[in-house]
Structure 1
Amino acid sequence: MAPHLDEADNQLVAGIRLVLAISALLVAIVDHTGPNKANSFELIILSCYAAACALACAGRLEWARGKLMHRVDVAACAAMAAAGDDADVFALVFLFFAIVVASLRFGLEEGARITLGGVVLYSAAVILTHGGSVPARLFLLAAILLAFGRAIAQLGERQLRAVRRQALLAELNHVANPRFGIDRTMSMAMERTRAFFEAGTCIVILEEQDTGRTSMRAVREGSAAVAPMEDIDAGLARALLPEPRAHALLYARASCHWPRAAAVSQSHAGVGAWAAHDEAPLRELADLLQARSFISAPLVFGRCRGRIYLTGGARDFGRGDALFLARIAARELAAIDRIDVLDRIATDAAALERKKIALDLHDTAIQSYIGLQLGLAALCRQAEPSNPLAGELDKLSAMAAEVVVELRDYARRTRAGPGADEPMCMSALRRQAAHAQAAYGVDVRIESEGRIEFGDRLTAEVLQIVREGISNVCRHTKARRAVVSLCCGNDRLRIEISNEHGGKPPAPFRPASITERALALGGSAFVHEGRFNDTIVCVEIPL
């Protein structure tokens, strides 16, 4: 489990450690001058330890924030026990302090390690001070230390797990920019859930209530950032959606640590008592998932019903894990459905707008050109072959016919939208380039690499970035040529807008509007010089 480290907590722990060290040093000094003189070696140990604590508290050193300091606390505890006497309780105070710090900041494993190591070192130090004999109450004291240390470590693990769960819920609320669409948003949420549970695979199964169509999305460690939904057959769907659908499931195969298989479920996810589940179907399901253990919770996603699975990886799952997964599925993942709804609304609105533009184009420009074409054809039929304008009229008639064909093709592609012969993003970019050529006389070349297809909202952002880049070239430079390059690969979109500068590079600048748009998309923008006397504005957007 990842440690819980905070600068304020670091300073608080360092301050408490320094106060304890100074207190122990003062008591040792008083004892040294009184009737019960302490060992001078203990004064030296406490003086060095107090100096180290003061240095860690004042200097905010990196090594003081990790596991080293509470391990130094254990070593200091053993040294004080070896140098002091039985009445010296400061050794036990430092041992308990080290156990508490290790447990609250690093969890059960580190807390148990410090408890066991501290008890062993303390017992060895006490035995050393008694000339090799074992005091009668040492075993009782060691048992009490182990019991309390284990309890503190478990409490620390619970506290650390609660902090990590809150952090995961906060991350899932801001899991991805909605502009990137539902696939990326859901894939990222599944990956963060998988990483939190240290699972091998996170799988989402969704069945459409209206059509019965079932699809699956799977995220594994090291897989691509976007995991697409894939249709599965009815047999696999029945196996992955066992009855009862509303139960949270926990299955663990028998092992040396778990002598018998556990197949349990809850009456409803998040509420009700756990009850034994029929082991055979869950064992078959575990074999299908190729997992030794798994947890599962029901998932409602719009009109779809299904399940989310986490297969065992680095550790086995418990009932608390299954309940927390049910909470994630019921509240956090279900909230992603709102992004899906907004995405579909935006897509439908864009489709309706494209249809409206296509109809307007047909009713205005195309019909007008058809009328012009018919008028020119009538003039051509009336003109005699000997008429000197006959050839020009034929050319005009042919040009009008070509324009009508081009306009009809453009209207068809506009109505079709995504899935047409050329992606709409590229078509729009070519129109922007044509406008720059007509209005400013700047020749803009459009280049692309990879699959240039995005959702409607991201396409709108990309077009706006390119439009502003081309506008900057046309209005603020003397360049007559420019290149817009789009490269999509490695889960990243790279946009480069370059223009010639004739060997005289411009003063350093920062395109404010383009940079702000890139940052809003989770990306970045920067300007650099190319190899061919050109200036390049580069925008990188994660996908």
Structure 2
Amino acid sequence: MVIADSPLNKDAACAAAQSDVVYSQLVARIRLVLTVSAVLVAILDHAGPGPANLTALMVLSAYALLCAAVYLCPRCQPRWTRGKLRHRLDVAVSAAVVAAVGQADIFPLVFLFFAIVVASLRYGLAEGVRVTIATVLLYYLAAMLTLPEVAPARVLLRAAVLLAFGRVIAQLGELHILAARRQALLRELNQVANPRFGVERSMTAALEKIRAFFMADSCLMLLADPEQEHERGAHFLRTVRADGPTVVPAIPIDAALARAMLPEPRTHVLLYVRAWRCWRAFGGCALGYADEPATWTGHACGSLRELAELLGAASFISAPVNFGRGKGRIIVAAGTRHLGRGDALFLARIAEQGLRAIERIDLLDRIASDAAALERKKIALDLHDSAIQSYIGLQLGLAALCRKAAPGNPLAADLDRLVTIAADVIGQLRDEARRACAAPGADQSMFLAALRRQAAQASSAYGVAIRIDAAPGLALGDRLGAEVLHIVREGISNVCRHTSAGSATVALRCAGATLRIDIINPHDGATPPRFQPRSLSERAVALGGAAVVREGGANETIVTVEIPL
């Protein structure tokens, strides 16, 4: 059974069309030319009775003035003249002219076709069909009421021709908008998330864009590591769902599950649509597409049905993908709507072209990670040789000084405290050296634990109570998480060293495509002098963001750092 291309959400393409000033002016100019031409015909070449022609002339003249105002003053036009009301008003004017003149001449038909063309090119199939049906009904009613001597079959024939042409024009408009949306998606996939934050965030953002484009429930990427093809954990799956986290890591899966999700032949583009519940023999399909001979052929329905049940989908499309050294599949699964052949072929194009930018980011990320690992090892060695050894010498000197002090010496307690502080500092430096040698983790719990550890250290050293307020489900990935830890550490240090606050709050929120970090501390009511934290500002600028300082409502100073994602 032939499955047509699925109806897609066209809001983005419609918004782009609405914002195109040149296109809007062209449509307004054509509408004005048609209206003025109809006015001239009504004056010079009218065939109806005098009162009827006068009514049509008045309707067309009023509409011509409105069209001239819209064309000459596009920025001053009222809100009610924008959007879908324009082409719907064309239909109403055409029906009024037909009813007034009493015959279906050429200009009302031209207006009707013009309204269908504008509606279809701007808003796609649904609006085009809606306007076509309304046009046919109004035309038929106006002709039947004003032309009783004309045979109904003749008027019905004209209405049927108008309906057929309107449906074709609406379908062409749908294809026009679909092509624009596909080009926009490919362009967006080449402008993926900030590459500074690694391939995990970039891949998650790309899969989410693909899922949203097809209005599907989930988008999955399954890749196999060629070096571990026959070992456990050789396949890695990344699943993106609606309203999911901003970073979805790839998780290893069992070999049996991987085989179920990679049906043979692995080079084919696959399409599966579940049959209707009431009509098991109709409405479903299991198809495969190969480049040679570039045709759709039937596929083993059993394996695809099992995969659809595993995904919990009514239909899915799948295409082979080569990502770096790994090979696998990208799968788009929809639970309620049916995907089509055009969707499957476009997914194959996405897998072939749209993910190239992320593949380059992955290559650069691995190169940068190797270089960073060597640099971290060098820093750890330098830290051990310069700082840790010096603190160990200081600790030994303080311990020797404690042994020389008599038991009743009033400085004995202070010396013991200094020895303890030196030991704690040495422990912290050794921890930093070990963390510098190890690769940073991307686990959310580890990130929050590190934030709370920073807060506990500030509270112990300075007596300032620090509260961490992180949004539920906040996932930042390894690179961004490491940068955020540095920013929060610097912000807490500024509060503890440069203010007299006894408490502070660190709030982390993701608003759209921006991560916002608020470091809030109360003051005594006197407005503090204006300042700009230099280190925080430099770190924010390096990440493409900014840092600002503002006053809160309850005698609070708020340092806000915003980082684009």
Aligned to 1:93: 110
Aligned to 1:21: 35
Aligned to 1:261: 284
* Residues 1:504 and 2:526 aligned together: yes
SS at match of 1:210: helix
Paired with 1:143 and 1:257, the residues of 2 have a C-alpha distance of: 34
Paired with 1:385 and 1:469, the residues of 2 have a C-alpha distance of: 43
* Residues 1:6 and 2:26 aligned together: no
Amino acid of the residue matched to residue 488 of structure 1? L
Q: Judge which range, 415-424 or 142-151, deviates more.
A: 415-424
Paired with 1:306 and 1:187, the residues of 2 have a C-alpha distance of: 16
Match of 2:166 among 138, 149, 159: 149
- The share of aligned pairs that are identical, in percent, is 54
Say if 2:246 and 2:475, in contact at 8 Å, map to a contact too: no
Query: Measured at CA, do residues 10 and 464 of structure 1 come closer, stay the same or move farther in structure 2, by a change above 3 Å?
Result: farther
Aligned to 1:356: 378
* Residues 1:324 and 2:346 aligned together: yes
Q: Judge which range, 464-473 or 358-367, deviates more.
A: 464-473
Say if 1:266 and 1:275, in contact at 8 Å, map to a contact too: yes
Query: Measured at CA, do residues 41 and 519 of structure 1 come closer, stay the same or move farther in structure 2, by a change above 3 Å?
Result: farther
Amino acid of the residue matched to residue 348 of structure 2? A
Query: Measured at CA, do residues 165 and 61 of structure 1 come closer, stay the same or move farther in structure 2, by a change above 3 Å?
Result: farther
Gaps (5+ residues) in structure 2? 1-8
Say if 2:199 and 2:365, in contact at 8 Å, map to a contact too: yes
* Residues 1:245 and 2:266 aligned together: yes
Aligned to 2:122: 105
Deviation at 1:118, TM superposition (A): 0.9
Aligned to 2:246: 225
Query: Measured at CA, do residues 453 and 414 of structure 1 come closer, stay the same or move farther in structure 2, by a change above 3 Å?
Result: farther
Gaps (5+ residues) in structure 1? none
Amino acid of the residue matched to residue 384 of structure 2? H
Deviation at 1:405, TM superposition (A): 5.1
Q: How does 1:486-497 map to 2 (within 5 A)?
A: 486-488=506-508, 493-497=515-519
RMSD (Å), alpha carbons: 4.4
Residue by residue over 1:231-286, the C-alpha shift from the partner in whole angstroms, topping out at 9 and shown as x without a partner, is 322221111111111111112223369925322212249x8222221222112222
Q: How does 1:292-303 map to 2 (within 5 A)?
A: 292-303=314-325
Aligned to 2:4: none
Paired with 2:398 and 2:549, the residues of 1 have a C-alpha distance of: 52
Paired with 1:246 and 1:334, the residues of 2 have a C-alpha distance of: 18
Query: Measured at CA, do residues 41 and 517 of structure 1 come closer, stay the same or move farther in structure 2, by a change above 3 Å?
Result: farther
Q: How does 1:379-458 map to 2 (within 5 A)?
A: 407-416=429-438, 418=440, 447-450=467-470, 454-455=476-477, 457-458=479-480
Paired with 1:235 and 1:446, the residues of 2 have a C-alpha distance of: 48
Match of 1:208 among 225, 230, 237: 225
Residue by residue over 1:272-308, the C-alpha shift from the partner in whole angstroms, topping out at 9 and shown as x without a partner, is 2222212221122222222222111111222222111
Paired with 1:280 and 1:11, the residues of 2 have a C-alpha distance of: 54
Query: Measured at CA, do residues 296 and 379 of structure 1 come closer, stay the same or move farther in structure 2, by a change above 3 Å?
Result: closer
Q: How does 1:518-529 map to 2 (within 5 A)?
A: 525-529=547-551
Deviation at 1:470, TM superposition (A): 7.9
Paired with 1:480 and 1:384, the residues of 2 have a C-alpha distance of: 35
Amino acid of the residue matched to residue 262 of structure 2? L
Query: Measured at CA, do residues 230 and 29 of structure 1 come closer, stay the same or move farther in structure 2, by a change above 3 Å?
Result: same
Match of 2:361 among 329, 332, 339: 339
SS at match of 1:215: strand
Q: Judge which range, 491-500 or 271-280, deviates more.
A: 491-500
Amino acid of the residue matched to residue 259 of structure 2? R
Match of 2:307 among 282, 285, 293: 285
* Residues 1:30 and 2:26 aligned together: no
Query: Measured at CA, do residues 369 and 528 of structure 1 come closer, stay the same or move farther in structure 2, by a change above 3 Å?
Result: closer
Match of 1:166 among 183, 187, 191: 183
Q: Judge which range, 340-349 or 4-13, deviates more.
A: 340-349
Residue by residue over 1:396-437, the C-alpha shift from the partner in whole angstroms, topping out at 9 and shown as x without a partner, is 996677765554444334434635998697599789989xx9
Query: Measured at CA, do residues 15 and 352 of structure 1 come closer, stay the same or move farther in structure 2, by a change above 3 Å?
Result: same
SS at match of 2:294: strand
Say if 1:469 and 1:497, in contact at 8 Å, map to a contact too: yes
Paired with 2:537 and 2:429, the residues of 1 have a C-alpha distance of: 36
Query: Measured at CA, do residues 287 and 503 of structure 1 come closer, stay the same or move farther in structure 2, by a change above 3 Å?
Result: closer
Say if 1:198 and 1:313, in contact at 8 Å, map to a contact too: no
Query: Measured at CA, do residues 453 and 431 of structure 1 come closer, stay the same or move farther in structure 2, by a change above 3 Å?
Result: farther
Say if 1:495 and 1:538, in contact at 8 Å, map to a contact too: yes
Q: How does 1:116-135 map to 2 (within 5 A)?
A: 116-131=133-148, 133-134=150-151
Say if 1:432 and 1:467, in contact at 8 Å, map to a contact too: no
Amino acid of the residue matched to residue 287 of structure 1? E
Say if 2:548 and 2:561, in contact at 8 Å, map to a contact too: yes
Say if 1:263 and 1:282, in contact at 8 Å, map to a contact too: yes
Amino acid of the residue matched to residue 205 of structure 2? M
Paired with 1:87 and 1:532, the residues of 2 have a C-alpha distance of: 72
Aligned to 1:188: 205
Amino acid of the residue matched to residue 285 of structure 2? A
Amino acid of the residue matched to residue 19 of structure 2? D
Amino acid of the residue matched to residue 93 of structure 1? V
Say if 2:53 and 2:101, in contact at 8 Å, map to a contact too: yes
Aligned to 2:67: 53
Paired with 2:201 and 2:53, the residues of 1 have a C-alpha distance of: 66
Query: Measured at CA, do residues 376 and 320 of structure 1 come closer, stay the same or move farther in structure 2, by a change above 3 Å?
Result: closer
Paired with 1:370 and 1:61, the residues of 2 have a C-alpha distance of: 77
Amino acid of the residue matched to residue 282 of structure 2? P
Paired with 1:202 and 1:346, the residues of 2 have a C-alpha distance of: 28
Paired with 2:504 and 2:401, the residues of 1 have a C-alpha distance of: 44
Deviation at 1:459, TM superposition (A): 4.9
Deviation at 1:175, TM superposition (A): 2.6
Q: TM-score, normalised by structure 1?
A: 0.82
Q: Judge which range, 346-355 or 110-119, deviates more.
A: 346-355
**Bigger relative contact order, structure 1 or 2, given CA contacts below 8 A and separation 6+?**
2
Say if 2:440 and 2:482, in contact at 8 Å, map to a contact too: no
Say if 1:354 and 1:417, in contact at 8 Å, map to a contact too: no
Amino acid of the residue matched to residue 106 of structure 2? V
Say if 2:273 and 2:338, in contact at 8 Å, map to a contact too: yes
Query: Measured at CA, do residues 285 and 402 of structure 1 come closer, stay the same or move farther in structure 2, by a change above 3 Å?
Result: closer
Query: Measured at CA, do residues 452 and 152 of structure 1 come closer, stay the same or move farther in structure 2, by a change above 3 Å?
Result: closer
Say if 2:546 and 2:562, in contact at 8 Å, map to a contact too: yes
SS at match of 1:448: strand
Query: Measured at CA, do residues 488 and 152 of structure 1 come closer, stay the same or move farther in structure 2, by a change above 3 Å?
Result: same
Amino acid of the residue matched to residue 63 of structure 1? W
Residue by residue over 1:438-473, the C-alpha shift from the partner in whole angstroms, topping out at 9 and shown as x without a partner, is xxxx99876534499855643565467568868988
Say if 1:22 and 1:50, in contact at 8 Å, map to a contact too: yes
Q: Judge which range, 245-254 or 224-233, deviates more.
A: 224-233
Deviation at 1:28, TM superposition (A): 0.9
Query: Measured at CA, do residues 177 and 26 of structure 1 come closer, stay the same or move farther in structure 2, by a change above 3 Å?
Result: same
